[in-house]
Amino acid sequence: MKEALFYDRVKGQGAGVKCELCPHNCLISDGKRGICGVRENQGGTLYSLVYGKVISSAIDPIEKKPLFHFLPGSKSYSIATVGCNLRCDFCQNYAISQMPREELTILGDDQTPEEIVKAALKNNCQSISYTYTEPTIYFEFAYDCAKQAKAKGLKNIFVTNGFTSPPPIEMIGPYLDAANVDLKSFSDDYYRKYCGARLEPVLAAIKLYRKLNIWLELTTLIIPGLNDSDRELNDIATWIKKELGDEVPWHVSAFRPTYKMLDRPSTPAKTLIKAREIGLAAGLKYVYSGNIPISGSEDTICGNCKKIVISRSVFSVEKNNVKDGKCGFCGEKVSGVWS
């Protein structure tokens, strides 16, 4: 165990503490845990129960995060602990994300930040991704890994639900190079009903990542009948352009029935095609579809000459014509981190 960051003792509450890592701001009595199930109050001191407890690690293509404008074609060493501060009914990784709450169990192999960095370098990865579950809930471990990774020339990436309070983002900001944030819906009711969260803190976190000059891409899982209306998709695309800029990539991904959401059909290809068209019509430069093979939907197109500058297929780069951050055909800038 490791003492947690971002908490305060609550006056008049005996040994009670208030966790300030995420917007839940859990009030935790002595001997109890927060909503995430991995931060426990012991006698007025809040501890992380997952520091160094790695439940999953893998060498992934960066495109799987998904990040399409950040070191394309590179490998990222990906890690996770158990736990999450959301409870999405459609979670693809529920077996590990919900384990502390549903099974009251914390599993994982003990590893140090030094070992994580060493493994990334040994496997010729250019970055470490904190992913699979929610990196916010293992912030202390991710932060220590990120500092050491940066010192060794590695990049750091958060794949996150965005339900994080501003101070932790600001603290890790100098060591974080990229983030893919799940913008699950543009409805607060959706967040409350299906995720156990709220929309506004996610929007605020997304804007903070952008303000801190961390390379940002967004992903929306399109679920039939819940967040696939033309209006909502247009609202998301319009917000991205207005608040973040037209160069921020937006990934629209297909849903498949899982976990507690088995009553919905899989997302048809035509819905992703529509979502991509809506994003482009709203003025976004880079909109991609995922989880369903659709010809050309993962290619990066130059905004000027309209030629394909990066062609992709199933998490792999087939051709890359970006030269020094510019289109290799006409010289137009292509937004991203390329080296």
Which one, of 218, 191, 220, 192, lies nearest residue 206 by Cα?
218
Structure confidence at residue 12 as a pLDDT band (50, 70, 90): confident
pLDDT of 69 reads: 98
**C-alpha 328, offset from chain centre:** 30
Cα distances (angstroms) measured from residue 54 to each of 58, 76, 228: 11, 16, 35
Are 124 and 160 a contacting pair, CB within 8 Å? no
Structure confidence at residue 314 as a pLDDT band (50, 70, 90): confident
**Residue 331 within a domain:** no
Identify whether residues 13 and 134 lie together within a single domain. Answer: no
**Residue 125 within a domain:** yes
**Residue 212 within a domain:** yes
**Containing structural domain, residue 38:** 2-48
Identify whether residues 117 and 197 lie together within a single domain. Answer: yes
Identify whether residues 128 and 209 lie together within a single domain. Answer: yes
pLDDT of 11 reads: 81
pLDDT of 91-104, one tens digit each? 999 999 999 999 99
Q: Is the pLDDT of residue 57 over 90?
A: yes
Q: How many domains does the chain have?
A: 2
pLDDT of 258-275, one tens digit each? 999 999 999 999 999 999
Structure confidence at residue 14 as a pLDDT band (50, 70, 90): confident
pLDDT of 61 reads: 98
Residues 42, 17: Cα–Cα separation, whole Å: 10
**Residue 303 within a domain:** no
Identify whether residues 228 and 107 lie together within a single domain. Answer: yes
